[in-house]
Structure 1
């Protein structure tokens, strides 16, 4: 259990940091790309307003200082751009290529014609592995198309993204390494508290058995001397209840200490039939109906003793909380994909519509509605917690469902191969 808790602590802490890193890197990358596109649009606007040429004067706008990139004539010279102007009178294209070397005038004319055929005022074109953003300005005499190589701006944003991802991965690895190295120290107080709790339960259980034995012996002696009466019967009943409670405490503490279960391939069908045969008379004597449906020769990897105990706990719980003259069903079958074995115990429970079934696995939890069904047979709320620990040690899953006035405990355990018979593994 401690290893599992430590593993969960490391996983959740690392995932939390991963989420923070993704949020930070994603935010920085988004802002960088947004600013890059703002810069592209700002440069295109300036060039388009000046028919594809560098303006003679540029005065900064103080209102746009915080929302738009600060572009001057000096900074404008770093960009690679060109333009093509279509004269509507003679249908000739004038080329401006002073700020580009990789595109020839003939290619500029072709790109201009290509953009004009698309009838779009702005967009992007891909030419010779380079992305050019363009802006179209139309007037009565001419149509000007300005092209801007946006590779420089976007490459800066891409570089920031790659750097953020790299630093994030390095930080995550360093954090995970430190967490693995110091996780034992971090969870040591919790481990010590859990260990002291288990030791207390085990020691207290053994210590309480001695006075209970004395009380039981004194009660029997009193019955021999004065005969049985209501007081002695009540004392014996309470002694039995306390003895069962102590035994369940000790069993649960041992289960949580990762007992050395002998996991081997067992015949789940045979064990289930054995438990069903022993519980049938108990259920019928309480005035309820009991039915068992067991698919033969189903094999699972489990501890036979604890598997028997698991079915006994579930049937005992179903019998206690079943409606008077209700039904108790025990089923063992293959799952839909024939990879798992499904064990289900179902009982009639008409008063269970508004019960929080997920809390049934909490120790000492009993719903008030369930308690009032049969106060004399109500348990201590530890049986299902024990069942959950047994299933967890088997590597299976347990869940509760309620439908049509019936509550079902459903256990899923992976089916084992017959070829594995005879092999054992200690856990």
Structure 2
């Protein structure tokens, strides 16, 4: 349990940092790309207003100081741009390529014709692995098209993004490494509290068994002297109930420690049949119907003792809460893909339509609050919690479902790499 908690602590902490890094890097990248595109649009606007020429004087308005990047005549010289002016009367085109070297005048004319066919005032065009932003301005008898190589601005934005991603990955790796190294120290109080709780349960269980043994012995002596009475019978029932409850507590504490559980390849079919035979008479004596369907030769990796205990818990729970004269069905079979073994225990439960079945696995949870502790078939609310812990230790899953007045507990455990002895099913009633 502590190991699982530590892993969850590391995973959630790392995911939280990852979310923060993604948010920060994403925000910086978005702002950087936004400013880059804003810079491209501003330069195109300046060049378009001056028919593709650098203005002789830069005098931004007060509003532009806050809304747009600021440029000077010197700063504009760093950009690569060109323009073309088409005379509408004689269809002659004048090209300005003073600030570009990689595009010839003939290519500029082709790009201009290509842009004019789009009938758009602005946009982007891809040419020779370079993206050029353009802006079209209609003058009385002329059409001016200005092109700007935006790779310089966008490359800066990409560098910021790559640098942010790199720093984020390095920070995440360093954080995770430190977290793994010091996580045990961080959760040490929880480890100590968990250890004290287990020790308390175990020690208290042993201490409580002594007075219960004395009470049981005194009750038996009283029965020998005065005969059995309702008082002595009730006392023995409560002593038996407390003894069983203490054993549950001790078993649960030991189960969480996991030192005595030895996982090995076991014959799940054989153990299931053994448990079924032990419970069959008990269920029938209670006036209920019992059926089983067990595929022979199914092998799983589990602890034999705890697997026996798992099936016993499920059958005991089904017998307790099955409707009078209802049906209990035990099934062990292969999954659809033949990689897993499915164990299911189903019982009639007409009153279970509106019940939250996931809470069944909570310790001490009982749906019917009106039941008294003197009721013969009452439980402790611990068995299914133990079943869930056992299944987790086996590396499997347990879930519950309700359909047609019947509740089912379905366990999925990975099948061991063993050949089946037979593919037939055995059914008994």
Contact conserved, 1:332 with 1:343, CA < 8 A, in 2?
yes
Contact conserved, 1:320 with 1:374, CA < 8 A, in 2?
no
Superimposed CA distance per residue, residues 3-42 of structure 1 (whole angstroms, 9 cap, x where no aligned partner): 2222221121111111111111011111111111111111
Superimposed CA distance per residue, residues 80-136 of structure 1 (whole angstroms, 9 cap, x where no aligned partner): 111111111111111111222222212111111121223332221122221111111
- The correspondence of residues 29-108 of structure 1 with structure 2, limited to 5 A, is 29-108=29-108
Decide whether aligned partners of structure 1 residues 419 and 291 sit closer, same or farther in structure 2, where only a CA change above 3 A counts.
closer
Equivalence for 1:223:
223
Equivalence for 1:390:
390
Q: Does 1:209 align with 2:209?
A: yes
Residue 354 of structure 1: SS of its match in structure 2? coil
Q: Does 1:159 align with 2:159?
A: yes
Q: Does 1:414 align with 2:414?
A: yes
C-alpha separation in 2, matches of 1:282 and 1:9: 45
Superimposed CA distance per residue, residues 279-300 of structure 1 (whole angstroms, 9 cap, x where no aligned partner): 1111111121111111121111
Contact conserved, 1:48 with 1:137, CA < 8 A, in 2?
yes
C-alpha separation in 1, matches of 2:338 and 2:103: 66
CA offset at residue 253 of structure 1? Answer: 0.3
C-alpha separation in 2, matches of 1:235 and 1:374: 11
C-alpha separation in 1, matches of 2:373 and 2:215: 31
Q: Does 1:278 align with 2:273?
A: no
- The correspondence of residues 18-33 of structure 1 with structure 2, limited to 5 A, is 18-33=18-33
Decide whether aligned partners of structure 1 residues 235 and 369 sit closer, same or farther in structure 2, where only a CA change above 3 A counts.
closer
Residue 345 of structure 2: SS of its match in structure 1? strand
- The CA RMSD measured in Å over matched residues stands at 1.9
Superimposed CA distance per residue, residues 301-350 of structure 1 (whole angstroms, 9 cap, x where no aligned partner): 11111111100001111111112222111111111111000001111222
CA offset at residue 372 of structure 1? Answer: 8.1
Contact conserved, 2:47 with 2:54, CA < 8 A, in 1?
yes
Equivalence for 1:352:
352
Equivalence for 1:424:
none
Equivalence for 1:256:
256
For structure 1, the 5+ residue unaligned runs are: 422-427
Equivalence for 1:425:
none
Q: Does 1:179 align with 2:179?
A: yes
C-alpha separation in 1, matches of 2:371 and 2:54: 86
C-alpha separation in 2, matches of 1:372 and 1:117: 87
C-alpha separation in 2, matches of 1:374 and 1:332: 34
CA offset at residue 175 of structure 1? Answer: 0.8
Task: Using structure 1 for the length normalisation, give the TM-score.
Answer: 0.94
How many aligned residue pairs are there? 421
Equivalence for 2:244:
244
C-alpha separation in 2, matches of 1:374 and 1:327: 25
Residue 400 of structure 1: SS of its match in structure 2? strand
Bigger drift between 51-60 and 265-274 goes to 51-60
Contact conserved, 2:391 with 2:398, CA < 8 A, in 1?
yes
Decide whether aligned partners of structure 1 residues 79 and 373 sit closer, same or farther in structure 2, where only a CA change above 3 A counts.
farther
Contact conserved, 2:132 with 2:147, CA < 8 A, in 1?
yes
Decide whether aligned partners of structure 1 residues 65 and 287 sit closer, same or farther in structure 2, where only a CA change above 3 A counts.
farther
CA offset at residue 67 of structure 1? Answer: 2.9
Decide whether aligned partners of structure 1 residues 374 and 246 sit closer, same or farther in structure 2, where only a CA change above 3 A counts.
closer
Decide whether aligned partners of structure 1 residues 15 and 293 sit closer, same or farther in structure 2, where only a CA change above 3 A counts.
same
C-alpha separation in 1, matches of 2:293 and 2:108: 81
C-alpha separation in 2, matches of 1:143 and 1:38: 24
Contact conserved, 2:2 with 2:191, CA < 8 A, in 1?
yes
C-alpha separation in 2, matches of 1:335 and 1:111: 64
Contact conserved, 1:348 with 1:405, CA < 8 A, in 2?
yes
CA offset at residue 242 of structure 1? Answer: 0.2
C-alpha separation in 2, matches of 1:120 and 1:298: 71
Equivalence for 2:426:
none
Contact conserved, 2:298 with 2:420, CA < 8 A, in 1?
no
Equivalence for 2:427:
none
C-alpha separation in 1, matches of 2:291 and 2:354: 27
Decide whether aligned partners of structure 1 residues 201 and 369 sit closer, same or farther in structure 2, where only a CA change above 3 A counts.
closer
Bigger drift between 111-120 and 9-18 goes to 111-120
- The correspondence of residues 360-399 of structure 1 with structure 2, limited to 5 A, is 360-368=360-368, 371=371, 375-399=375-399
